[in-house]
Amino acid sequence: MHEFSFATSIVESLLDLANKQGASKVLGVHMRIGKLRALSTEQLSFSYGILAKGTILEGSKLTVEESAGSLRCTHCEYHGEFDPEGDLSFHFGIPPLICPQCGSGLSIEGGDECTITSVRMLLPTTMKESEPAAETSN
């Protein structure tokens, strides 16, 4: 269950960001996770909820957008998507990726990211009541 270690890193990063910004509460987090990361979004969300308890993240909404795997052949310029859905062996590593057109190896162009794309948080107000200007007399 590597989702818990990913969730731990995510929560630590969010708490660090919130602390630097002086946030009093994190309301929502949006992430993009590639399917080639082989992370269960349900397990990640569950782990996030457990780790967020008792912090300013508690009650925040975690939204995960999944992106497809994008592959390219450097030999014949084939470009296609790779969806590991249902392939249990994929959880133990990325299998050799072979071009369906020429048989050469494929390179990963996308779908392996795990990125926090936005965070909604309550920040302290920066507008302070200004002091009245001192009167001067000549």
Residue range 2-26, pLDDT digits in tens: 899 999 999 999 999 999 999 999 9
- Identify the residue with better confidence: 96 or 34: 34
- Identify the residue with better confidence: 70 or 135: 70
In degrees and rounded to multiples of 5, residue 56 shows phi and psi of -70, -5
Q: Averaging pLDDT over each range in 35-39, 59-63, 72-76, 123-127, which range is the top one?
A: 59-63
Q: pLDDT of 34-65, one tens digit each?
A: 988 888 899 999 999 999 999 999 999 999 99
Whether the Cβ atoms of residue 138 and residue 130 lie closer than 8 Å to each other = no
- β-pairing, 25-34 vs 69-73, is unpaired
Alpha helices (H) in 1-138, listed in sequence order: 3-21, 41-52
CATH topology of domain 3-122: hypothetical protein PF0899 fold (3.30.2320)
The two structure tokens encoding residue 128: 């302070």
d(CA 87, CA 58) in angstroms, rounded, equals 34
Give the pLDDT confidence score for residue 128 in this predicted structure: 38
Domain locations in the chain as residue ranges: 3-122
Q: How many residues are recorded in the chain?
A: 138
The two structure tokens encoding residue 61: 């909404």
Whether the Cβ atoms of residue 71 and residue 110 lie closer than 8 Å to each other = no
Nearest residue to 31 via CA among 67, 65, 69: 65
Whether the Cβ atoms of residue 111 and residue 67 lie closer than 8 Å to each other = yes
Give the pLDDT confidence score for residue 85 in this predicted structure: 63
The two structure tokens encoding residue 113: 């990211």
pLDDT classification of 1: cutoffs 50, 70, 90: low
**What average pLDDT does this structure show over 57-79?**
93
d(CA 44, CA 33) in angstroms, rounded, equals 11
